[in-house]
A and B are shown apart, each in its own frame.
Chain A
Amino acid sequence: MTQVTLKPEDINLNDPEIFERNQAHQVFDYLRNNEPIHWNPEGERNVGYWNITKYEDVMFISRNPELFISSKGITSFYPKDESELDEQMSGNGKMLITMDPPRHVRLRRLVNKGFTPRAVNAMEDHIREITNQVLDDVAKKGRCDFVLDVASQLPLAVICGMMGLEKKDWPYMFELTNKVLGQGDPEYQTDAPEELRGTPEGARIAGQMGTMQMFGFFAQQLQDRKEHRKDDLISLLVDSEVDGQHLTDEDILWFCFLLILAGNETTRNAISGGLLALSEHPDQRQQLQNDMSMLPTAIEEILRWVSPVTHMARVATQDVEIRGTTIKEGQRVVMWYPSVNRDEDIFPNPHTFDITRQPNDHLAFGIGEHFCLGAGFARLELKVMFEELFRRFPDIEKDGEPERLRSTFIGGIKHMPVKFTPEA
Chain B
Amino acid sequence: MRVFVDPDLCEGHSKCEKSAPAVFEVRDDDLSYVLLDPVPEEHREGVERAVRVCPRGAIAMTEDNE
A and B co-occur in one complex: yes
Interface positions of A (Cβ within 8 A of B)? 62-63, 105, 109, 112-113, 115-119, 361, 365, 367-369, 371, 375-376
Among B13, B28, B30, B57, point to the contact of A369 (Cβ < 8 A).
B57
Within B30-57, which residues are at the interface with A (CB < 8 Å)? 30, 52-53, 55-57
Given the interface pairs A365-B55, A367-B57, A368-B57, the reply to whether A116 lies near B8 with Cβ below 8 Å is: no
Given the interface pairs A105-B8, A105-B9, the reply to whether A118 lies near B57 with Cβ below 8 Å is: no
Given the interface pairs A105-B8, A105-B9, A109-B8, the reply to whether A116 lies near B30 with Cβ below 8 Å is: yes
Residues of B within 8 A of A115 (CB): 11
Question: Closest Cβ of chain A: how far from B45's Cβ, in Å?
Answer: 13
A371 to B30, Cβ gap below 8 A? no
Among B11, B52, B53, B57, point to the contact of A112 (Cβ < 8 A).
B11
Q: What 6 A-B pairs are tightest by C-beta distance, nearest first?
A: A116-B30, A371-B55, A368-B57, A116-B12, A118-B30, A63-B57
Residues of B within 8 A of A109 (CB): 8
A365 CA / B56 CA spacing, docked (Å): 11
A361 CA / B51 CA spacing, docked (Å): 13
A367 to B55, Cβ gap below 8 A? yes
A361 CA / B13 CA spacing, docked (Å): 13
A115 CA / B12 CA spacing, docked (Å): 10
Which residue on chain B has the smallest CB distance to residue A64?
B57
Interchain Cβ contacts under 8 Å between A and B, 25 examples: A105-B8, A105-B9, A112-B11, A115-B11, A116-B11, A116-B12, A116-B30, A117-B12, A117-B30, A118-B12, A118-B28, A118-B30, A119-B30, A361-B52, A361-B53, A365-B55, A367-B57, A368-B55, A368-B56, A368-B57, A369-B56, A369-B57, A371-B56, A375-B13, A375-B55
Question: Closest Cβ of chain B: how far from A66's Cβ, in Å?
Answer: 12
A369 CA / B56 CA spacing, docked (Å): 6
Residues of B within 8 A of A119 (CB): 30
Residues of A within 8 A of B28 (CB): 118
B55 to A117, Cβ gap below 8 A? no
A62 CA / B52 CA spacing, docked (Å): 12
A148 CA / B12 CA spacing, docked (Å): 33
Question: Closest Cβ of chain A: how far from B11's Cβ, in Å?
Answer: 5
Residues of A within 8 A of B56 (CB): 368-369, 371
Residues of B within 8 A of A62 (CB): 57
Residues of A within 8 A of B53 (CB): 361
Which residue on chain A has the smallest CB distance to residue B9?
A105
Residues of B within 8 A of A63 (CB): 57
A375 CA / B57 CA spacing, docked (Å): 15
B13 to A117, Cβ gap below 8 A? yes
A410 CA / B8 CA spacing, docked (Å): 30
Residues of A within 8 A of B13 (CB): 117, 375-376
Residues of B within 8 A of A376 (CB): 13
B30 to A113, Cβ gap below 8 A? yes
Residues of A within 8 A of B14 (CB): 117
A375 CA / B53 CA spacing, docked (Å): 14
Residues of A within 8 A of B52 (CB): 361
Residues of B within 8 A of A375 (CB): 13, 55
Residues of B within 8 A of A116 (CB): 11-12, 30
Which residue on chain A has the smallest CB distance to residue B28?
A118
Which residue on chain A has the smallest CB distance to residue B19?
A359
Residues of A within 8 A of B11 (CB): 112, 115-116
Which residue on chain A has the smallest CB distance to residue B56?
A371
Residues of B within 8 A of A118 (CB): 12, 28, 30
A105 CA / B8 CA spacing, docked (Å): 7
Interface string of B1-30 (1 = CB under 8 A from A): 000000011011110000000000000101
Question: Closest Cβ of chain A: how far from B49's Cβ, in Å?
Answer: 9
Residue in B11, B14, B30, B52 with the greatest tally of chain A CB atoms within 10 Å: B11
A375 CA / B11 CA spacing, docked (Å): 11
Question: Closest Cβ of chain B: how far from A318's Cβ, in Å?
Answer: 20
A369 CA / B58 CA spacing, docked (Å): 9
Question: Closest Cβ of chain B: how far from A292's Cβ, in Å?
Answer: 21
What 15 new A-B contacts, CB under 8 Å, besides A63-B57, A117-B12?
Answer: A105-B8, A105-B9, A109-B8, A112-B11, A113-B30, A115-B11, A116-B11, A116-B30, A117-B30, A118-B28, A118-B30, A361-B53, A368-B56, A369-B56, A369-B57
Residues of A within 8 A of B55 (CB): 365, 367-368, 371, 375
Residues of B within 8 A of A368 (CB): 55-57
Which residue on chain B has the smallest CB distance to residue A113?
B30
Question: Closest Cβ of chain A: how far from B61's Cβ, in Å?
Answer: 14
Which residue on chain A has the smallest CB distance to residue B13?
A117
